Amino acid sequence: MPKSITLAVTGASGMPYVIALLKELLAREDVLVNFVISKAGIVTMHQELGISLSHNPQLTREKLLEAIDLKVADKFNVYGIEDWYAPVASGSSVADVTIVCPCTMATLAKIANGIGDDLIARSADVAIKERKNLILVPRETPFSAIHLENMLKLAQLGVSIIPPIPAFYTHPATIEDMVNFVVSRILDQAGIGNSLISRW
């Protein structure tokens, strides 16, 4: 059975991470990707990368495959933000790993307080209750005490908190290098081997 990954995208800045993650995940035969994006995420995707997604999951799927230059992806499903019949909404078919990238502070707050009022928050809630791997990539600066308290609460439950902070000891030469550093750390936490960065 392939490892199932839910990739949930909110409206925070950081869409290059999303595209880089998709490229890496869909390049693997042993990974099934379930993708969901918020309405604000659709807006941010267009603003940052010029990729026009749709509220129609099938059209969004086609646009994403075009963006990563992939013609066929058998193990790639896209769901609407209010699709309560999506498997990621159910504890009986919970993903092995759920990644919220990028994660707004509003979504993080909902997850920290068990408010599953859309498919992104619900999929994270299911991951926590089923004791699966949940990875959040919070994008905000500076963090307020409220943000930090919510992150602490989740970290104490075993949630991986990975702010998209670049490293300079790797001597990045391009934006892609900085993106790949963060994506590599996300994949490491997801238990997916990668060679995006040089290892020490």
139 in a labelled binding site: yes
106: annotated binding-site residue? yes
b/e sequence 140-149, b meaning 16+ C-beta within 10 Å = beeeeeebee
Burial class (CB within 10 angstroms; exposed 0-12, middle 13-18, buried 19+) of 165: exposed
Q: Is 174 annotated as belonging to a binding site?
A: no
Task: Name the maximum alpha-carbon separation found in the chain.
Answer: 45
Residue 31: φ, ψ to 5°:
-130, 135
Does the annotation flag 185 for ligand binding?
yes
15 annotated as a binding-site residue: no
DSSP state of 71: S
Tell me which residue of 103, 106, 86 sits closest to 94, measured CA to CA.
86
105 known ligand binder: yes
Cα angle 170, 21, 2 (rounded to 5 degrees) comes to 125
Binding site for dimethylallyl phosphate, by residue number, is 169, 185
Sequence ranges of the binding site for FMN = 11-13, 38, 104-107, 139
Residues of the binding site: 11-13, 38, 104-107, 139, 169, 185
